[in-house]
Amino acid sequence: MLKRIVQKKSFEEFPELMTTSEAARLLNVHVNTIRRWSNSGKLKTYRLGPRADRRFDRKDLSNLSHRVKRSHN
């Protein structure tokens, strides 16, 4: 599975990571789609903080965006 757990790190230490809602807005999909892709391993997820909030690397989102666009053409 492509999930990474990053415990006891502050969100400020990872400025290149985006929230679930930011990722959804960037890819123009619903937040539940981002969660589903995260759960299935289609999108690499970083878990931060004591609540293990999901964060997504902008590069991974860009790569996924290109793959999705190619599959629809």
Give pLDDT tens digits for 22-50: 999 999 999 999 999 999 999 999 998 88
Give pLDDT tens digits for 4-26: 544 445 545 556 899 999 999 99
* CA distances (Å), origin 65, targets 11, 16, 24, 28, 68: 24, 17, 11, 10, 5
Domains of the chain: which residue ranges? 3-72
pTM of the model: 0.73
Q: Enter the CATH code of domain 3-72.
A: 1.10.1660.10
pLDDT (0 to 100) of residue 17: 92
